[in-house]
Amino acid sequence: MFAYQLRLAFKSLRRNPVLSALMVVAIGLGIAVSTASVTIYHIYSSNPIPHKSDVLFHVEIDNWHPDRPFDSDHPERAPFQLSYRDVRALMQSQIPTYQTAAFRTELMVFPDGDEQRPFREIVRMCFSDFFLMFDVPFQYGHGWDDAADHAPEPVIVINSRTNLRLFGGANSVGRSLKIQDRYFTIIGVLAEWRPTPKHYDPTVNAFGEPEAIYMPFNFTPVFEITNYGNTWSWMSEPIDSHEEYLQSEILWIQMWVQLDDETQKQAYQDFLDAYVLEQKKQGRLSRPLNNRLLDVMATLEEREVVPDSTKSQLVVSLLFLVVCAINLIGILLGKFLSRAPEIGVRRALGASRRSVFIQHLIECEVIGVLGGSLGLALSVMVLNAINRMLSNGEQLHLDLTMVGAGLLLSLVAGLIAGIYPSWRICHVAPAVHLKMQ
Amino acid sequence: MEFGPIFRALLNNRTRFWLIIVEVALTLAIVVNCTSIFLEKRRSFNSPTGMDVENILVINTEPFGEDFAVQDFVKDVGESDLARLRSRPSIINATPIHHIPLSGSGSSTGRKAAGSELDTVGISYFSVDEHGIETLGVELIDGRNFNQAEIGRRSDGGNEDMPRNVIVTKAFAERVFPDGNVVGSQISNGDDEYTATVIGVIDLMSNCWPRSSIGKHTMLQPSAAGDSREMNYLVRAEPGAIDTLYTELEELMISLETDRVVRVRTLSEIKLGYYSRTLMAMKIWAAVIVLMIIVTSLGIVGLTSFSVTQRTREIGTRRALGATRSAILRYFLIENWLITGIGLAIGTALTILLNYVLAEYAAAPKIDWILLVGGAAVLWAAGLLSALIPALRAITVTPEIATRSV
């Protein structure tokens, strides 16, 4: 029966190809625009590490001006970076399952051989736990260990793009690479890894590519480096050397801990509070006690990674789809009612209202699905165009969920548009139309 | 006029007309809101920067040679770079600079009138030498430029004893010194620990974050080339010379000193990068506006065509009873005019509602009334044009059609 109705639907669509094309295009445009915006919204607001987003916590200490909150619009918030001296102290804790301080910087890389000129590359300074807590995938090798953290040992992890650029994609574990003034041994090569949004550091370019090179954090004082990104300071202090910079109240380092249950979280919170109270005795951290542990989604929300314009686009494009569906109602109504005499005959020959209704609804859904497929194809083009326009290396793609969402949207649009015209046509009185012929 | 019969006919064919009304109303709401967002983005992109953006090149050098660890060497390289750049005939002037305007990354701080009890005002700063003003192409409207004696290097430590002089934009000066008398006044940080003297005021200069609320609060402070290993230069080209320079500068800089990575970009390119999201959003909004109007117009064509087809015999009867062709045309156009009018009235309310929602949850701008009136006019015209096509078909209906099938 379904196959028969499907055949009828296609037959009816072929009868007036221009009108059918118009309907398919109309719904297709609506689906294209709304799928593209739903995808963008979905990507911007997604959870990049769903299986552990509620056990990873961003550590914040309210180290700011005694009389002013860090964010005057949200006085309950604390600065979301820490000073080097606080990070040093907090990293002594034995409570978290994993913990890492980290920041983003740029260092000079000297490839072997004469073909390639030296270049600056983006580097993340972090602790060994970084790879474990964020489930960073490796193509070759692995991350470094605690001993390498402490020494620090000259080891690095590189991402797959850097491995391709320097070693043609071969297994480069064990090879050495000159960075700044010394040689580092490559201990691991990352597999393709692109958390979106970049949960571990959404402060700069939250949708960009992760760093190219990962280096033990304790090279910070060795190379006398600071971060490439945001640096905040509320007091002016004379700083003449890197050592003084590290001892200052300048906030530039992010810190994450993994706390697997409530007890562990409470223990860590107590540890933080005790540390800050201790520091208060020494005349530091004079704001009211406000130590915060934010899980991944709370962090992303506070950092407002979803741009406002994305939200407006979502609302507007769904309204656009509604208008396209209303359009479809109008056209379908005309098309179906002009077929009333034929339906009159079918009803007189015994077709039930139900089967007439379902037959027309199926025709509407066929239009919806055809339009949806066209719309999905168009939205891929739209997203590719957007990717080309964005200069920061963001990549927006349809995933399976979004293809499903697009098709679902088109079915819903077909249904909404189809119900009323189908209902009207199945209530056609057979006698009137029989008489007219 | 036939308002009476038209109105009664409307009441008899409610569904079809409600469809048009809802469609027109939604379209007005969306088109007006999108246009408002689009215009705001365009204003932001086109707002004057005060600088000669089209003719400025940005050179970024990242040294890796070991010689660069020696402060004097860095200083010498900086001085010779600038001398070579300035001596080139197609270059108007060049300056060292730490941060790049319009780039989205830079440094900002808070400053207030020295001794004032008020909060500090955010300001973004750039370190340039005495050629900075000419290179940027900004206009000095009060006071004076830096002189050569003031340009010291921070790393010399020599700056400590020298008077700290700065040049600020008018936008910042007006915020901090509402009474005027800017030149010669002191500004300070929040704790009054650091003070500097304003020696000049420039008319306008966008800083690193032109979209932000402090996008035109800019401060220039004196600095020479070679303050740090990584050096940025701004170069202002003679009009028309920028394309040639763009291709030549990297080689020139490397020929002057090999052990460094050199990157040359135009300031326009940097501006486009900073605004890439804005430009993308503008294209999306423009596309939605155009598509909306097309889809709605097609919808009106479709629905009116249907109504013409359905009323063919009615039209024939009226023609047989003596109605002229123009009366039939008028009937359909007035009908459309009425429906669109009702749609636009409801649409106006919807527009304001949607704007409220977008403003509340997505920080959209408030709508200008002119836009609403303009949008309504465009839709009214589009509606009439769309109805004209089927209406012209309606007047070809001849009286005998009315009698044929009876």
Question: Higher confidence at residue A265 or residue B398?
Answer: A265
Indicate whether B264 belongs to any domain. Answer: no
Structural domain boundaries enclosing A429:
2-45+307-436
| Percent of chain B predicted with pLDDT > 90 | 33
| Percent of chain A predicted with pLDDT > 70 | 97
Question: Higher confidence at residue A429 or residue A56?
Answer: A56
3-state DSSP assignment of residue A252: coil
Closest of A430, A417, A422, A431 to residue A356, by C-alpha: A422
pLDDT higher than threshold 60 for residue B405: no
| Domains of chain A: total | 2
Tokens of A311: 């939200």
**DSSP letter for each residue of A310-355:** HHHHHHHHHHHHHHHHHHHHHHHHHHHHTTHHHHHHHHHTT--HHH
Is residue A96 a contact partner of residue A268, using CB atoms and an 8 Å limit?
A: yes
Domain boundary pick from A255, A272, A302: A302
DSSP at B65: S
Is residue B60 a contact partner of residue B89, using CB atoms and an 8 Å limit?
A: no
Q: Which of B191, B306, B358 lies at the smallest CB-CB distance from A236? A: B191
Binned at pLDDT 50, 70 and 90, residue B156 comes out as very low
* CA–CA distance, A330 with A346 (Å, rounded to integer): 24
Indicate whether A261 belongs to any domain. Answer: yes
Indicate whether A245 belongs to any domain. Answer: yes
Cα–chain center distance at A403 = 17
Question: Can you state the angle between helices A340-348 and A400-426, rounded to 10 degrees?
Answer: 70
Residues B95 and B165 reside in one and the same domain: yes
**DSSP letter for each residue of A88-122:** HHHTT-S-SSEEEEEEEEEEEEE-SSSSSPPEEEE
pLDDT higher than threshold 50 for residue B199: yes
Mean pLDDT of the A80-91 span: 94
| Percent of chain B predicted with pLDDT > 70 | 94
Mean pLDDT of the B295-305 span: 83
pLDDT higher than threshold 50 for residue A258: yes
Residues B111 and B231 reside in one and the same domain: yes
Question: Can you state the angle between helices B242-256 and B71-87, rounded to 10 degrees?
Answer: 150
Nearest residue of B to residue A323 by CA position?
Answer: B23
Structural domain boundaries enclosing B361:
3-46+277-404
* CA–CA distance, A240 with B112 (Å, rounded to integer): 25
Domain boundary pick from A268, A283, A302: A302
For residue A305, report the phi and psi dihedrals to the nearest 5 degrees. -75, -20
DSSP bridge pairs for B289? none
| Domains of chain B: total | 2
A29 and B295 within 8 Å at the Cβ level: the answer is yes
Range 285-314 of B in CB contact (< 8 A) with A: 287-288, 291-292, 295-296, 298-299, 302-303, 305-306, 309-310
pLDDT in tens, A99-119: 999 999 999 898 887 677 788
Residues B38 and B74 reside in one and the same domain: no
Residues B292 and B253 reside in one and the same domain: no
Range 60-99 of A in CB contact (< 8 A) with B: 65
Indicate whether A51 belongs to any domain. Answer: no
Binned at pLDDT 50, 70 and 90, residue A1 comes out as confident
pLDDT higher than threshold 70 for residue A392: no
Is residue B94 a contact partner of residue B224, using CB atoms and an 8 Å limit?
A: no
Residues A244 and A130 reside in one and the same domain: yes
Average of per-residue pLDDT values in chain A:
88
Domain boundary pick from B203, B227, B258: B258
B288 and A33 within 8 Å at the Cβ level: the answer is yes
Residues A61 and A25 reside in one and the same domain: no
pLDDT higher than threshold 70 for residue B205: yes
Binned at pLDDT 50, 70 and 90, residue B157 comes out as very low
pLDDT higher than threshold 90 for residue A434: no
Q: Sign of dihedral through CA atoms B202, B146, A239, B74?
A: positive
The residue type of B304 is: T
Question: Higher confidence at residue B3 or residue A92?
Answer: A92
Residues A330 and A380 reside in one and the same domain: yes
Cis peptide before A152 (omega within 30 of 0): yes
Is residue B59 a contact partner of residue B232, using CB atoms and an 8 Å limit?
A: yes
Mean pLDDT of the B88-93 span: 93
B-chain residues within 8 Å CB-CB of A391?
272-273, 276
Indicate whether B399 belongs to any domain. Answer: yes
Q: Is A236 on the interface with B (CB under 8 A)?
A: yes
Residues A257 and A337 reside in one and the same domain: no
Residues A13 and A108 reside in one and the same domain: no
Burial A319-346 (b: 16+ CB within 10 A, else e): bbbbbbbbbbbbbbbbbbbebbeebbeb
Residues A111 and A196 reside in one and the same domain: yes
| Percent of chain A predicted with pLDDT > 90 | 43
**CB atoms < 10 A from the CB of A427, how many?**
12
Indicate whether B308 belongs to any domain. Answer: yes
Indicate whether B326 belongs to any domain. Answer: yes
pLDDT higher than threshold 60 for residue A437: no
Residues A255 and A335 reside in one and the same domain: no
Cα–chain center distance at A248 = 34
Indicate whether A285 belongs to any domain. Answer: yes
Residues A333 and A256 reside in one and the same domain: no
pLDDT higher than threshold 70 for residue A265: yes
Residues B229 and B307 reside in one and the same domain: no
Domain boundary pick from A241, A273, A302: A302
DSSP at B260: E
Closest of B81, B27, B41 to residue B381, by C-alpha: B27
* CA–CA distance, A59 with A56 (Å, rounded to integer): 10
Indicate whether A211 belongs to any domain. Answer: yes
Residues B130 and B219 reside in one and the same domain: yes
Nearest residue of B to residue A33 by CA position?
Answer: B288
Q: Is A22 on the interface with B (CB under 8 A)?
A: yes
Indicate whether A50 belongs to any domain. Answer: no
Give the number of A-B residue pairs with CB atoms closer than 8 Å: 128
Residues A164 and A290 reside in one and the same domain: yes
A312 and B364 within 8 Å at the Cβ level: the answer is yes
Nearest residue of B to residue A328 by CA position?
Answer: B299
pLDDT higher than threshold 90 for residue A10: no
pLDDT in tens, B344-388: 999 999 999 999 888 887 777 888 889 999 999 999 998 888 888
Binned at pLDDT 50, 70 and 90, residue B158 comes out as very low
The pLDDT score that the predictor gives to residue B227 is 67
Binned at pLDDT 50, 70 and 90, residue A186 comes out as very high
Name the residue with tokens 């607001």: A45
The pLDDT score that the predictor gives to residue A347 is 86
A-chain residues within 8 Å CB-CB of B299?
26, 323, 326-327, 330-331
Name the residue with tokens 């409530």: A262
Cα–chain center distance at A383 = 15
Closest of A203, A209, A195, A200 to residue A43, by C-alpha: A195
What 3 state SS string does B26-51 have? Answer: HHHHHHHHHHHHHHHHHHHHHCCCCC
Here the ipTM equals 0.77
DSSP bridge pairs for A109? A119, A179
Question: Higher confidence at residue B305 or residue B92?
Answer: B92
Indicate whether A13 belongs to any domain. Answer: yes
Range 151-180 of A in CB contact (< 8 A) with B: none
The pLDDT score that the predictor gives to residue B296 is 87
Indicate whether A360 belongs to any domain. Answer: yes
pLDDT in tens, B30-74: 999 989 989 988 998 999 999 999 999 999 988 877 777 777 888
DSSP at B147: -
Residues B204 and B285 reside in one and the same domain: no
A-chain residues within 8 Å CB-CB of B118?
none
Residues B17 and B90 reside in one and the same domain: no
Residues A348 and A213 reside in one and the same domain: no
Residues B370 and B247 reside in one and the same domain: no
Residues B30 and B79 reside in one and the same domain: no
Domain boundary pick from B223, B258, B293: B258
Q: Is A307 on the interface with B (CB under 8 A)?
A: yes
The pLDDT score that the predictor gives to residue B159 is 46
pLDDT in tens, A348-382: 888 888 888 988 999 999 999 999 999 999 988 88
Indicate whether B150 belongs to any domain. Answer: yes
Closest of A412, A382, A408, A404 to residue A40, by C-alpha: A382
**CB atoms < 10 A from the CB of B179, how many?**
8
Is residue B266 a contact partner of residue B274, using CB atoms and an 8 Å limit?
A: no
Domain boundary pick from B226, B258, B290: B258
Is residue B292 a contact partner of residue B23, using CB atoms and an 8 Å limit?
A: no
pLDDT higher than threshold 90 for residue A26: no
Residues A278 and A345 reside in one and the same domain: no
The residue type of A28 is: G
The C-alpha torsion from A360 through A30 and A380 to A391, rounded to 10°, is: -170
pLDDT in tens, B242-281: 999 998 998 888 888 888 888 899 999 999 988 888 888 8
Residues B299 and B374 reside in one and the same domain: yes
